[in-house]
Chains A and B, each alone.
Chain A
Amino acid sequence: DTGVSQNPRHKITKRGQNVTFRCDPISEHNRLYWYRQTLGQGPEFLTYFQNEAQLEKSRLLSDRFSAERPKGSFSTLEIQRTEQGDSAMYLCASSYRDNSPLHFGNGTRLTVT
């Protein structure tokens, strides 16, 4: 399967703990995006990489969130000191070039208890 891969699929954590998610994009795609989706809502943009450079971050991305894409391949999204409001589906997507469609992974569902 050469689609976008995300791990883990589910994560349950206690409030205050740190969590890290991983995304492996489609191999020839140099653009990678993170979105967050809550129940009954469309995905909300968090951040965007072109190769290893993080080019844009949403105002939604508080300082407890950090994302990296070393060497322009896979990406990680870390949430420090999790809060219950962080509970959501975190979606990763990649695209081949400017204004081409985004292809999404199956997401990581985070539950903060």
Chain B
Amino acid sequence: EDKVVQSPLSLVVHEGDTVTLNCSYEVTNFRSLLWYKQEKKAPTFLFMLTSSGIEKKSGRLSSILDKKELFSILNITATQTGDSAVYLCAVSHDGGSQGNLIFGKGTKLSVKP
């Protein structure tokens, strides 16, 4: 069965800390891995990864994919209280439609002042 597993499920840090969120997957015919940030409402898109070893970066956030070991990490440096959210990892695959993303349960990040 296709699955996406995120760890940890929750994390509490202080402002300025660096955090690493993990996502492992088992899917048939992998296409891409996506990271989303969800603050109470709509998940907002962060990164889409299709190739191994190529880091994607946006400000203090970065992500990388390892297709051999079937995992991805999302790093956040110098965390701020505004980073508090649930971070969702999702994988698309050829077994379903292009939009049939398989999501993990998310990592709930709380950043304390």
B90 contacts partner chain A, Cβ-Cβ < 8 Å: yes
B101 and A102 within 8 A (CB): yes
A45 and B42 within 8 A (CB): no
Closest A residue to B103 by beta carbon equals A42
- Among the listed A3, A4, A42, A45, which residue makes an inter-chain contact with B99, where contact means beta carbons less than 8 Å apart? A45
A102 and B103 within 8 A (CB): no
A111 contacts partner chain B, Cβ-Cβ < 8 Å: no
Interface size grouping (class) on chain B: 20 to 34
B32 contacts partner chain A, Cβ-Cβ < 8 Å: yes
Closest A residue to B96 by beta carbon equals A56
> Which residues does chain B contribute within 8 Å of A99, judged by CB atoms?
31-32, 50, 92, 98
* Residues of A81-113 contacting chain B, CB below 8 A: 91, 93, 95, 98-99, 101-107
Question: Most B CB atoms within 10 A — which of A3, A44, A45, A95?
Answer: A45
A41 contacts partner chain B, Cβ-Cβ < 8 Å: yes
Q: A33-B99, A48-B100, A95-B99 are in contact. Are A43 and B45 (CB under 8 A)?
A: no
Provide the B83-101 mask, 1 if CB < 8 A to any CB of A, else 0: 0000010101000111111
Closest A residue to B90 by beta carbon equals A42
A40 → chain B, closest Cβ, in Å?
7
A95 to B41, CA, bound (A): 18
* Interface residues of B, Cβ cutoff 8 Å to A: 4, 31-32, 34, 36, 41-45, 48, 50, 88, 90, 92, 96-106
Among all A-B residue pairs, the 6 with the closest Cβ atoms: A42-B103, A104-B42, A106-B41, A56-B97, A33-B99, A101-B45
* Interface residues of A, Cβ cutoff 8 Å to B: 3-4, 31, 33, 40-45, 48, 55-56, 58, 91, 93, 95, 98-99, 101-107
